[in-house]
Structure 1
C-alpha cells in the first residue's frame, strides 16, 4: 500500500517533543520528509535523529514569533527537500494565572507564541504553496480551551480561540490555490504539560470526558495525518476536536 505522505515535505513547529514530535513520527512513518522547528535547536536536531535517517528528517532552531526565523525555517525545508506540502503550526507555551495575578507580559507572551506564531507560519507556508502551484495542507493547533475557556488561562484560551478564526479566514483566502487550512482542538492529552496537573485537577477534568480516559499524543497525530493527507482533500476551514467527547 502506498504511504499517505510519500515524497511530501512537512514542517512542524514545536516539533522536538510532545504533540509536535508525535505528529512528526506519524508523518515520517507515512513517508514524509520532516523538518522539525523548535526554539531549542539542539533538541530539534536530537528529535530529528530519533525519527530516522538524516536524509529524511532535519531539525532547525526557530523562534515562531520571529518573521525572519519562520521564513528561514521554510526556506531550509524547500532547499533540503525541494518543496513544502504540509505545515503544522504547533509551537506553544503556557503561563497560567488568574487575571488578577497575570501580568501583561504573561498575556502578551502567550498570545505572541500561539497567535502571532501561527499567523506567521500560515502566511509564509501559504505563499510558498501558492507559488508551487500544487496546493498543500496547513494545520493549526488550537485547543478545547479555545472553545470553552479555562479559568487561569485567559491568555491561552484567547490565543487558541483566535487560531480558529485565523484558520477560517485563511482557508477562504487561499482555497482557490488548493491550499487547505484546518485546525485541531485537542482536549486533555497525556503530555509532560498535563502530567504536571494536580491529582485533583486531573480527576475533575477526567470526569468531563465521556470516553473515560485522557487522550494519547498518537491519537492527535493520527488526526493531523488525516488533515495532512489526501483523505481530507475536500476539507478546509474546519476545526477537528480530539477530546474524547469533552465539552460536547
Structure 2
C-alpha cells in the first residue's frame, strides 16, 4: 500500500485535455488538490468543472513559454493550496511540419512550449517544491525524439529529447533539496490529438505495438501517481517508457 496523496498540492500544466487531463483526474481521485493549467481560460475552467466530479480541482490560464505566466501559476498554487508538492510539467504541442519547409517561427513555438516551458515551469515552482519536503517534478516527454523518430516532427522530437537532458541535470541539482525529477515517455496514447491524425494512422499504430492496443491516459497517469508517492522518493533522473512495448521490436517481422 502506497502512502496516500490526500491533501497534496499538484500543478498540472497542459491539463485541459489529453494526457494532462487524465493526470489531473487521477490526482483528484487520489485526494490531491489539483491546479489545472492551460492557455485558454475558458477551456481550463471547463475542464476543471468537469473534473470536480472526482475531487478538488481549480484552474488558471497561462502560457508556459512566458516566464511571468509560470511565476503566476506558482503564486496561484501557493495562494490556493499553501504550497506545491508535485509539478506535472505536461504542456506540449506537436504540429506537423516537414524539415525542408519548417519555419523559424514553428521551431521557436514548439521548443518554447515543450522545452523552454518545462524549464520555466520547474524554475517557478522550485521554492515551493523545496519547501514541501517531498517535492516531485514529473515531466511528460515522449518516445518520439529520445528513442524513435517520425517524419514531420523533427522540432517536436528535438524538444522531447531536450527534456531528458534537462531532467538528468535538474535531478542532480535538486537531489540534495529533497526534490526528485523524472520523466514519463508515452508511446501512442489515444487522445483527442492522436484521434485527429485519422483512423488509418490509429490502426497502423496499433499494429506496431506488441500489446496490439494504443495506450490510455490512465496508463500514463498511474505512473505519475506512483512517482508522486513517498515510496518513489529514491527514484530520480529517470525516464520511464510507457508504450506497450512499441520500441522493442527490431522490425515489423518480429510482430508477425
User: Structure 1 residue 75 and structure 2 residue 75: aligned?
Assistant: yes
Matched, 1:145 2:144: yes
Q: What aligned pairs does 1:54-65 form with structure 2 within 5 A after superposition?
A: 56-65=56-65
* Structure 2 CA distance for aligned equivalents of residues 150 and 53 of structure 1: 37
- 2:91 alignment counterpart: 91
Aligned residue for 1:173? 173
Give unmatched runs, 5+ long, in structure 1: none
Q: Deviations over 1:150-188 (max 9, x none)?
A: 111000000000001101110000010110000010000
* Aligned counterpart, 1:23: 23
Give the drift of 1:128.
2.2
In structure 2, distance between residues paired with 1:25 and 1:96: 28
Name the SS of the counterpart of 1:145 in structure 2: coil
Aligned pair count? 247
Match of 2:133 in 1: 134
CA, structure 1 residues 229+107, in 2 after alignment: closer, same or farther (shift >3 Å)? same
Q: Is the Cα contact below 8 Å between 2:31 and 2:55 reproduced in 1?
A: no
Mean Cα displacement is larger for which, 133-142 or 74-83?
133-142
State the superposition RMSD in angstroms. Answer: 1.7
TM-score when scaled to structure 2?
0.92
| TM, length-normalised to structure 1 | 0.94
After superposition, the C-alpha distances for 1:2-36 in whole angstroms (9 at most, x for unaligned) are 87211100000011111111101100011100001
Deviation of the 1:234 alpha carbon: 1.1
User: Which of structure 1's runs of 4+ aligned residues deviate more than 4 A?
Assistant: none
